[in-house]
Amino acid sequence: MKTAARKLRSLKSGVAADKPWHLRLYVMDETPKSLAAFMNLKRVCESRLKGHYRIKVIDLLKHPKLAKGDQILAIPTVVRMLPIPMRTVIGNLSDIDNVLVGLDLKAGD
């Protein structure tokens, strides 16, 4: 009951403002595509989740083993670890609207 109420509130407020956001960005080396994805993600987070987000960049070139765990296929890929449920957006994140939908940040706009 309590969680449902909170969920409703967070939807109304647009973002889960009071919750920490953990994001993982999987890239492959420092390619322009990877850099662009990071810049785009950073921009979205700064505008929407300022102060309570964390982006962890994983370079699969250095840690190929980690690709299996989060079911990574495409590069670049952003995985929303928290809040649950997990969500995945692939691409260089140049289409901001799609990023907002993919990460479920669009609600309340």
Binding of residue 84 to other proteins (CB under 8 A)? no
Task: Name residues contacting other proteins, limited to 60-79 (CB under 8 A).
Answer: 60-61, 64-65, 67-68, 71-77
Binding of residue 16 to other proteins (CB under 8 A)? no
Q: Least separation, in Å, of the C-beta of 25 and other proteins? A: 12
Cis status, amide bond into 76, omega within 30 of 0? yes
Binding other proteins (rule: CB under 8 A), the pick from 25, 45, 49, 93 is 93
Run of H or E residues at 66: helix 66-69
Closest CA to 80 of 27, 29, 41: 41
Q: Least separation, in Å, of the C-beta of 84 and other proteins? A: 14
Binding of residue 40 to other proteins (CB under 8 A)? yes
Stretch that binds other proteins, among 1-9, 14-22, 46-54, 90-98 (CB under 8 A): 90-98
Closest CA to 29 of 56, 54, 55, 63: 63
Q: Which residues bind other proteins (CB under 8 A)?
A: 26, 28, 33, 36-37, 40, 60-61, 64-65, 67-68, 71-77, 87-96, 98-99, 101-102
